[in-house]
Amino acid sequence: MGKPMIAIDNVQPLSPESLFELLKTEFPAYVNEQLGSNLAVEFAHVADIVNISFPEIIDGNAYTITVGDNNIEIIDHTTDGTYNTELLEQHLMEFLTLKAG
């Protein structure tokens, strides 16, 4: 279940807490600007895991981000045919690469 995991080098390195704050404060505006939309984005943070969901368009958790010392791993929980998940994932990757790299 789910798509393959994607890893991004955590060059900064960002802690789970700092990534959570960055995502909460900057990612919704970033993704909505990229998509020309006004999606609600929700985040949950426990230990080294940050979950991202888009409750209006995707049921349940969309992405799980695990923050490690050397990299940030993203697991995609979206199913094909739900909204435009490829674009959401692309913008999430760009955002994380921008912030962690």
Nearest Cα to 85, choosing from 60, 49, 66, 67?
A: 60
Q: Which amino acid is at 86?
A: E
Length of the chain: 101
80: confidence class by pLDDT, cuts 50, 70, 90: low
82: confidence class by pLDDT, cuts 50, 70, 90: low
First-to-final CA distance of the chain:
29
Flag whether pLDDT at 87 surpasses 80: yes
Q: What is the pLDDT of residue 11?
A: 82
Flag whether pLDDT at 81 surpasses 70: no
Flag whether pLDDT at 1 surpasses 50: no
Measured between alpha carbons, how far is residue 14 from residues 18, 40, 47 in Å?
6, 24, 13
pLDDT in tens, 22-74: 999 999 999 999 989 999 999 999 999 999 999 988 888 999 999 998 889 99
Q: Which tokens belong to 42?
A: 């929700």
Prediction pTM value:
0.86
Q: What is the pLDDT of residue 38?
A: 93
Integer Cα distance of 59 and 54 in angstroms: 8
